[in-house]
């Protein structure tokens, strides 16, 4: 796959504003391997102890992100060794940021996966009222969710800043963008390409070029 590049090649690239703010706050390197692949604040789809990680940088208003969502779900279902980390990168404005914050807050009700899936499978244009309605339909306590946003505001902000710093450092131009093992993948791979990259990671081919 000629668009395939390596995570190691991106390490050390200068970060943009989000990374600068992180540095000023003495936050650990946002593009370290652990920060990228194993952010403890972000719930995992698939096998949390899997041997191959796919990281997606996505936006809830991105039609391409919605189109790739069932592919990722199928990969996780078929491959018991796969862990998928979904990182909000709200690039389509205020509503995208609101959706990202609400879904991240939903994890405190053990509803992250339900909320994420509901929004990614929702058809039509996202509006504030549709956003709230969709989350409420998953059984989320909206009053508690709003309280959570206040209580965990700094944690949620830090997650979104890390995600943005990583995406900018890797030179991604938009959503969706992916890390597979240590392959850096801008754009939308096919299911076949995903499976090949997963096989390459297991074969150690991503490490061979480092």
**What per-residue confidence (pLDDT) applies to 3?**
39
The pair of three-digit structure tokens given for residue 163, joined into one six-digit string: 């995600």
**pLDDT, average across residues 48-75:** 96
Is the torsion defined by CA of 89, 91, 92, 98 positive or negative?
Answer: positive
194 by Cβ neighbours in 10 Å (0-12 / 13-18 / 19+) ranks as: buried
Rounded distance between C-alpha atoms, residue 72 and residue 92, angstroms = 22
Is the torsion defined by CA of 180, 183, 188, 193 positive or negative?
Answer: negative
Band of pLDDT at residue 34, cut at 50, 70 and 90: confident
pLDDT digits (tens, 9 = 90+) for 62-74: 999 999 999 999 9
Please name which of 32, 84, 26 lies closest in space to residue 53, comparing C-alpha atoms: 84
We find that the CATH architecture of domain 13-175 is 3-Layer(aba) Sandwich (3.40)
By three-state DSSP, how is residue 47 classified?
A: coil
Higher pLDDT, 100 or 19: 100
Phi (first) and psi of residue 130, to 5 degrees: -70, -35
Over the chain, what is the mean pLDDT?
86
The pair of three-digit structure tokens given for residue 18, joined into one six-digit string: 């989000």
pLDDT at 166 over 70: yes
The pair of three-digit structure tokens given for residue 50, joined into one six-digit string: 């899997």
Lowest mean pLDDT among 26-35, 50-59, 174-183, 196-205: 26-35
Phi (first) and psi of residue 28, to 5 degrees: -55, 155
**What per-residue confidence (pLDDT) applies to 207?**
61
Which residues, 6 or more positions from 139, have their beta carbon under 8 angstroms from its beta carbon?
Answer: 111, 114
**What per-residue confidence (pLDDT) applies to 23?**
45
pLDDT at 6 over 80: no
């Amino acid at each position: 796959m000629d668009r395939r590049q390596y995570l190691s090649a991106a390490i050390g690239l200068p970060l943009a504003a989000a990374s600068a703010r992180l540095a000023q706050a003495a936050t650990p390197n946002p593009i370290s391997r652990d920060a990228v692949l194993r952010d403890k604040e972000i719930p995992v789809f698939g096998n949390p102890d899997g041997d191959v990680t796919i990281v997606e940088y996505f936006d809830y208003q991105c039609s391409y992100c919605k189109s790739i969502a069932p592919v990722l779900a199928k990969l996780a279902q078929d491959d018991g060794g796969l862990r998928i980390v979904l990182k909000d990168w709200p690039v389509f404005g205020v509503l995208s940021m609101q959706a990202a914050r609400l879904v991240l807050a939903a994890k405190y009700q053990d509803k992250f996966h339900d909320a994420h899936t509901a929004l990614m499978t929702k058809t039509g244009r996202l509006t504030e009222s549709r956003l709230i309605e969709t989350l409420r339909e998953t059984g989320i306590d909206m009053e508690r969710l709003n309280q959570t946003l206040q209580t965990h505001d700094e944690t949620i902000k830090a997650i979104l800043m890390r995600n943005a710093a990583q995406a900018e450092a890797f030179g991604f131009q938009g959503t969706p963008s992916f890390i597979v093992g240590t392959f850096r993948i801008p754009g939308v791979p096919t299911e076949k390409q995903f499976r090949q990259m997963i096989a390459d990671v297991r074969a150690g081919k991503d490490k061979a070029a480092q």
